[in-house]
Amino acid sequence: MTMAIFLNGMSRTEIRDLTMAMIASGERMDFSGLGKPTTDKHSTGGVGDKITLPLMPLVATFGVAVPQLSGRGLGHTGGTLDKLESIPGWRATLSNDEIMAQLRDEGGVICAAGSGLAPADRKLYALRDITGTVEAIPLIASSIMSKKIAEGTGALVLDVKYGSGAFMRETERARELAQTMVELGADAGVATSALLTNMHVPLGRTIGNANEVRESVEVLAGGGPADVRELTVALAREMLALAGRDDADVEAALDDGRAMDTWRRVIRAQGGDPDAALPEAREQHVVTADRDGVLVEQQALPFGIAAWRLGAGRARKEDPVQHAAGIELHAKPGDAVRAGQPLFTLSADEPARFARALDAVEGAWRIGDPGEPVDDGGPLVLERITA
């Protein structure tokens, strides 16, 4: 069946029927008793994509509940739960009653999805993996949307990435996936939209786990890298608009500390200490510019693979991650650099990991002359897709 779908595709009705059958294979959560709208976000994943961390408390600040059921990283794509588990005491596994209580009391939650949501998806994914049909768009869309619809959110925004570090590298394929998922949401009665976003270069200036938490907290404090703030604000506006709160001033909530206050409450509610020191790697390796010029290229995928090799990611679901491992980018495409200036720093607990990480980024960045075109993949948000 998976091979037939891969070769022949599926109609909108067929994808809907498959997705609804997958949802019916398990439980379905119901947040109608909260007395407030619910909205969620799903990202197809990328390099340095820590947006869920500042986004959830920002949206929850406006009286909209955010049930953010998230996953772990695999390969070069980081996992939200892995990042948050670098916070001492924070726990990812909550019961359904705990999720409901936290949404009611704090307005938001980031936790692991329960095994009862769309269990048929796990069986189908295992089949797709061994039959080489993982990249079939109907199967990708039904896999993502079966869990999100079963989760019970009233509105859903999809962050569908394209570019060198994205699951769907080609813009047209990313657009097709986004449209398919938006239609599935509409067919299931969930207000759904999608933003096509650029993953040609790493998002922000950190790649890893603990370092991405630090950067997220900077955004919640009104600072942080411009691209992380821009995408956080864009997705927050979209989520709130679908939940009926299109009058919300999300930038003000970042700048005046309200989103930070929500973040601290949510972290504490899940056992974490928002004031605790985050893990620091024992070893560092700094790569410097070999000439004056402008950084004109910085490919996301090789930097994601390098962070994985440093210990920030995993090859198999059961592998551990090193929370302190990762990369800090001191320059982004378009920045002027001088010879000897640090371009990026690799961090790991074992120095033996540096060689393979450096191999991964060989040829992935380039310094050009002033005026040379910068290969940044274009605008951060390319377009909005609705049903």
Strand 108-112 versus strand 66-70 pairing type: parallel
Over residues 326-346, the mean pLDDT reads 97
Cα three-residue angle 96-123-316, rounded to 5 degrees: 85
pLDDT reading at 316 higher than 80: no
Quote the pLDDT of residue 14.
97
Tokens of residue 175, six digits: 């657009």
Cβ count near 265 (within 10 Å): 17
Name which of 220, 347, 228, 225 is nearest 280 in CA terms: 347
CA distances from 346 to 139, 169, 224, 246 (A): 36, 25, 20, 41
Q: Express each pLDDT in 132-161 by its tens digit.
A: 898 899 999 999 999 999 999 999 999 999
Q: What average pLDDT is seen over the chain?
A: 95
Tokens of residue 375, six digits: 């290969």
Quote the pLDDT of residue 71.
83
Q: Express each pLDDT in 154-210 by its tens digit.
A: 999 999 999 999 988 999 999 999 999 999 999 999 999 999 999 999 999 999 999
How far is 32 from 105, CA to CA, in rounded Å?
15
Angle subtended by helix axes 119-131 and 12-24, to nearest 10:
120
Cβ count near 188 (within 10 Å): 18
On the 0-12 / 13-18 / 19+ scale of CB atoms within 10 A, 91 is middle
Over residues 363-376, the mean pLDDT reads 95
Strand 155-162 versus strand 191-198 pairing type: parallel
Quote the pLDDT of residue 210.
97
Sheet with 155-162: strands ordered across: 39-43, 155-162, 191-198, 381-386
Quote the pLDDT of residue 319.
82
Helix extents (H) in the chain: 2-8, 12-24, 52-60, 80-84, 96-105, 119-131, 137-151, 171-187, 210-220, 226-242, 250-255, 258-269, 300-307, 354-361
CA distances from 308 to 119, 228, 246 (A): 28, 21, 38
Percent of the chain's residues with pLDDT above 90: 88
Q: Express each pLDDT in 231-285 by its tens digit.
A: 999 999 999 999 999 899 999 999 999 999 999 999 999 999 999 999 999 999 9
Tokens of residue 41, six digits: 């976000």
The dihedral built from the CA positions of residue 370, 373, 379 and 380, taken in this order, carries a sign that is: negative
Tokens of residue 57, six digits: 């408390």
CA distances from 86 to 45, 94, 139, 161 (A): 19, 17, 32, 25
How far is 47 from 310, CA to CA, in rounded Å?
14
Q: How confident is the model at residue 331 (pLDDT cuts 50, 70, 90)?
A: very high
pLDDT reading at 78 higher than 80: no
Domains identified in the chain and CATH numbers: 2-275+382-386 (3.40.1030.10), 283-368 (3.90.1170.30)
Cβ count near 246 (within 10 Å): 10
How far is 10 from 20, CA to CA, in rounded Å?
14
Question: Which three-class secondary structure state does DSSP give residue 242?
Answer: helix
Phi, psi angle pair for 36, to nearest 5°: -150, 155
pLDDT reading at 315 higher than 80: no
Query: Which residues does the annotation mark as catalytic?
Result: 42, 121, 128, 143, 147
pTM metric for this prediction:
0.95
Over residues 77-90, the mean pLDDT reads 92
**Residue matched to tokens 């001033």:** 249
pLDDT reading at 291 higher than 90: yes
On the 0-12 / 13-18 / 19+ scale of CB atoms within 10 A, 228 is buried
pLDDT reading at 75 higher than 90: no
Quote the pLDDT of residue 1.
92
Quote the pLDDT of residue 61.
97
The residue among 45 and 216 whose pLDDT is bigger is 216
Over residues 289-314, the mean pLDDT reads 95
Quote the pLDDT of residue 39.
97
Over residues 19-44, the mean pLDDT reads 94
Name which of 280, 294, 182, 238 is nearest 66 in CA terms: 238
